[in-house]
Structure 1
Amino acid sequence: MWHIVGIAARMCLELGLHREQVYRPAKGSNANDPSQIVANEIRRRCFWCVVAMDRIVSISLGRPLAIHLQDADVALPDLNLDGTVNSDSEDQSTSSFCRTAIFVHIVRYRILCGDILSALHNGSTRTQTNEVPALASRDKLANELAQWRQDTSTLSLPDVDLSSTLPGDRSSFRTREWYEMLYYNALLMLYRPSPGLSSASSRDAVVLQTIFVAAKQAIALYAHLHRSRRINYTWITLHSVFMAGLSYVYAVGRHFRSHKRNIPGTSTRTALLENNPTIIEIVNDSRACSNVLVAISERWNVTKNCHDVFNRLSDAMLSDAVEYHTRASSEATRTASAADVPSGASFSVQSDGAGGTPLGYWQINEIGATALAVDSVLHECFDDLQRFQPYGCGDDPVGQLSHDWLGEIGGVGLNLNSMW
């Protein structure tokens, strides 16, 4: 796919499809000729298809973009020509449904994701020392993403007919859940650890909560699309589902590790989620992600073991959650028993501020004690995560996140610049 998209990108540039003047009527030709209008619109859409695929493949593989929009001045397809270009489509029976509007909306999303890649995850951001521009870019892109999500309501999507045998009638492009899933995938890309931001800026509580919520929602939406037979069983989908699952494990692991590092009597606190994930919540989310991974992996033998890696990580995460809640329950019992102690005895119980559970039950005496079961499994699976892509070298999102995670727990140096 990488080579095919690269060839297509160079063909577009060679044909001049990135320049608006190519689509203007030639001298002496009829500007109102319907066949010429359709031909130009098809060429225009071919260019934007390549742009969209370029973003998808580059983001999935962690590689540079082939087409930079700074070099292009071509406009997006004209919505007013939808009836002309798609005159043979049965969808035109629905007057409010515009196929071109859906296409443009998806292309806008891919362009936005490409901007996120360039602003936060490309090679030049690994050597910059001033993170202010990166933070400003992240805020700007977050606003643009929110606007894109809001614009989804204007698409007038038709009802999905699951009883139809036509693939188009069950297309994921026609369901709002698919666009919500895209939104949360972009949030993960926007807020996950990146070379463009320091560890302090990418690991605060707000960012951690955003990663957790986005991963949780993405998993739920993928599971819903899978159950309703509206998911695309491609390696790109497999990569996105695995990334959502890995981000979920990463966020929950950081939360429980933070509980171990928060020492009573000190003002220093590391990032925590707003609420402690329950055991049932973790089980349900992990199972939903695993089921989708298994369903897609059956069609892609190259990455067939990815669901095994996720299951090992999620099992370890569940073990940490069980230990946390068991100790919390024991501490609560001791606290309740303390109420019966004679008035001459005195002691204090501190709260962690996240879920109201006592803070003293997971105290530590040394840094090594903060390691979790999921951290140990990460060490064991690290090589598999770095080679998630068949020809990857750790630059893809899975490789970057696993490397940052390992650096956070002390497996490698926290300075990513030396590795890249």
Structure 2
Amino acid sequence: MEAKNQTLTKRLREARRARATDDAAPDAVNGNQDQDMAQASDDDDHHGSDIAKNNEVANQVVSLSLNAGGQRQYLGSASGAILANLLGLQGQAGQAGVDSDAEPLFRRFTTTRGQINGVLEPVQDIPHEQLARSLLAAYLSHDHLCYPYLHPGKLINTVAAMYSEEHYYETHNAEAFTMDMIFAIATAQVHKFSWQVLPDAETHYERAMSKLGRVLETGGLVSLQSIMLLCQYRMLSVSYSTSASLWHLLGMAARLGLELGLHREAVYTIPEGISASAREELREEVEIKRRCFWSLFGMDRVVSNTLGRPMAINLDDIDTEYPLVEEDRGAISTASPSVEDILDNPEWPANTAVFVHITWHRVITGKILSSLHNPPKSRMPDAQTCANIREQLKQELDQWKSGVASLQLVDPNTGKVKDKSTFKSPEWYRLLYSNCILMLHRPTNSPHDHPLTTAALEQVYHCAQESIQSYCFLYKERRINYTWITLHAVFIVGLSYIYALRTHFQNKRRQFRALAEGQPATTEGQLSVDPTITQIVADTRACSTVLVALSERWNTARECHEVFGRLSDAVLADSSDFYISSTSNQRANSQNAPTDSSFKPNEPLLFDDFSTEQLSAPQIPTEVDNTYQDCYEELQELFGSYYGDNALLRPPFDWNFEL
């Protein structure tokens, strides 16, 4: 390591000297003033080179240290670890897989307009009033449904004041920051509204960042809401770290929320003996705090679930009640509100029930994480306890699914609908249910994990199939959320579908081989009906379409749909071989000449640390196994050095134990 550091230091020193010499070379026609400017430029380059040197050496040391430790970035089993590196940091800091301590938390990874020498400066003017009103309406009709931690009435009043009061934008930093972030978040979702020729979302973001320091000095709830706006934008942004840095940023917000006591119901108590007007004002403030806490809770669950990391907010520490559904007093109750409908009614929108139901789902996913995926191996429950936990959580999930019928959602059969929000679509709630079932049966780090039973395999197959259909429907209806979280979820669903088919066809081949050898055969671990090739083609094509559409927004994530395409081709080859072999066997059996030559393994086994159940059955590699082995290098590039620590992909957990 010391030799490597010395080599890097020498190279950087030579590069710095060469560049300084070029910059300092005087032109024959330059005067003293030009020489002074050259000297100043040389000093700046010298300082910049020192910083680059320090960052490079530090990054190399960090990279070597973390790689020697066995993993570059922490991820747990719940994430699947499928897109961790794909969606990691860009630039020098991203090469090490972690944020550089020498860089600001909110730093842009490329220098663009509005940023000089790492200092964010205001860029362009605020949008014209009509566009600002439309962006705010778009935010309130979609993003605000899932994370209603800002008072809609105050937002509407702020927009009105920005364009009616002189110097309001310049003198109200917190309000201006909030509106700029809302403009950025809404602009990132323009695909839902068929808008064109809009300013880039980062234009609004950079304008907001120029005020962040002054806003954070305010402290309290305002600072918490500001950090949550940053988190919400980073879930949509394609230019910033959306893994490690977002997780750390959410951790900061969670600590601030806990410091404010938002996890305790006592904070929301309204004192007696105050005037009616003061009581109403305090009631609105209390409700905003309550929504703010549960919005933060939801963000924490979503990001922790995707990354498979520990959650920042422990459910056992919370006694805060959900927002009261009776608080829905707004006049906005139509399915497709216009801009005027939203902005002319500053009361609470009638969507609290939707938010509470989404929050309940986040609570369930948190329970799955804490019970099945996040415990260390030494404290993992045994197989029977895991089965009981899955059954209990399945019952709660069924109750949640039944409650969807009581929500005011948009009927997709009513014709053209203006409301493009995912959170008002019944299909999105069916998607959440199916994904939760897949999460329940996802392999864990438990040494007691067993191969899927027939009942579990049926659930994985059908839920994966339903999820693919739901994602495809939302994409066609322009309702899908174009976020890296959605991309990760679709990829995991696609892998679950491939895994179910691979398990089914492999166990079928085991059954036929046992029958051919005159041994007892079992139908365990098989689907009740053999999937047809036509159905497999339709499902994999639908999943690939959504993956391509989502991954186009991330330059570093485009390889995921190629990997899925190769696995899809492999499972199609397996299904074709199965039907051909099945026909051949039937013909051979009719001639009283059974044969098993078509089932002999083509490659030697690479692993021998299987469970007793796995050893008791003949090991028959499938085309999916072989293709998976061919994708090993690509998967290592996607996952990094923690590939071997992922429960979904490790050999002992029945995904690639035949390789």
Do they superpose with TM above 0.5? Answer: yes
Tell me by how many angstroms 1:174 deviates: 0.7
Contact 1:134 1:196 in 2 (8 A): no
1:232-311 matches, within 5 Å, as 232-262=481-511, 263-264=514-515, 265-269=518-522, 270-311=524-565
Helix, strand or coil: the match of 1:54? helix
Change (3 A) 1:207 1:385: farther
Q: Who is 2:87 aligned against?
A: none
Match of 1:157 among 409, 413, 421: 409
Helix, strand or coil: the match of 2:631? helix
Ranked by relative contact order (alpha carbons within 8 Å, sequence separation 6 or more), the top structure is 2
Change (3 A) 1:411 1:89: farther
1:183-194 matches, within 5 Å, as 183-194=433-444
Tell me by how many angstroms 1:198 deviates: 2.7
Q: Who is 2:657 aligned against?
A: 410
Helix, strand or coil: the match of 2:328? helix
Tell me by how many angstroms 1:54 deviates: 0.7
Q: Who is 1:15 aligned against?
A: 260
Quote the Cα distance in structure 1 between the aligned partners of 2:539 and 2:343.
Answer: 36
Matched positions, count: 384
Change (3 A) 1:164 1:258: closer
Match of 2:374 among 78, 100, 122: 122
Q: TM-score, normalised by structure 2?
A: 0.54
1:321 aligns with 2:568: no
Amino acid at match of 2:647: Q
Tell me by how many angstroms 1:179 deviates: 0.2
Contact 1:327 1:361 in 2 (8 A): no
Q: Who is 2:302 aligned against?
A: 56
Match of 2:467 among 218, 221, 225: 218
Which protein is bigger by CA-based radius of gyration? Answer: 2
Quote the Cα distance in structure 1 between the aligned partners of 2:547 and 2:653.
Answer: 23
Tell me by how many angstroms 1:277 deviates: 1.3
1:231-275 deviations in whole A, cap 9, x for unaligned?
001000001100000000011111111122221133353411111
Quote the Cα distance in structure 2 between the aligned partners of 1:126 and 1:377.
Answer: 34
Tell me by how many angstroms 1:278 deviates: 1.1
Amino acid at match of 1:10: R
Contact 2:443 2:653 in 1 (8 A): no
Q: Who is 2:624 aligned against?
A: 374
Amino acid at match of 1:50: L
Where does the alignment leave 5 or more consecutive residues of structure 2 unmatched?
1-245, 334-339, 606-618
Tell me by how many angstroms 1:27 deviates: 6.5
Change (3 A) 1:386 1:236: farther
Tell me by how many angstroms 1:191 deviates: 1.3
Quote the Cα distance in structure 1 between the aligned partners of 2:554 and 2:468.
Answer: 20
Helix, strand or coil: the match of 1:274? coil
Helix, strand or coil: the match of 1:211? helix
Change (3 A) 1:276 1:407: closer
Quote the Cα distance in structure 2 between the aligned partners of 1:406 and 1:195.
Answer: 9
Contact 2:650 2:656 in 1 (8 A): no
Amino acid at match of 2:249: I
Contact 1:319 1:373 in 2 (8 A): yes
Contact 2:649 2:656 in 1 (8 A): no
Contact 1:246 1:310 in 2 (8 A): yes
Quote the Cα distance in structure 1 between the aligned partners of 2:552 and 2:598.
Answer: 41
Change (3 A) 1:239 1:216: same
Change (3 A) 1:31 1:384: farther
Quote the Cα distance in structure 2 between the aligned partners of 1:208 and 1:218.
Answer: 15
Quote the Cα distance in structure 2 between the aligned partners of 1:232 and 1:405.
Answer: 35
Quote the Cα distance in structure 2 between the aligned partners of 1:129 and 1:254.
Answer: 25
Q: Who is 1:110 aligned against?
A: 362
Contact 1:157 1:175 in 2 (8 A): yes
Amino acid at match of 2:250: V
Match of 1:25 among 254, 270, 284: 270
Change (3 A) 1:387 1:56: farther
1:260-305 deviations in whole A, cap 9, x for unaligned?
2221133353411111111111111100000000000011223221
Q: Who is 2:99 aligned against?
A: none
Contact 2:649 2:655 in 1 (8 A): no
Q: Who is 2:249 aligned against?
A: 4
Where does the alignment leave 5 or more consecutive residues of structure 1 unmatched?
339-346, 350-358, 413-420
1:355-366 matches, within 5 Å, as 363-364=599-600
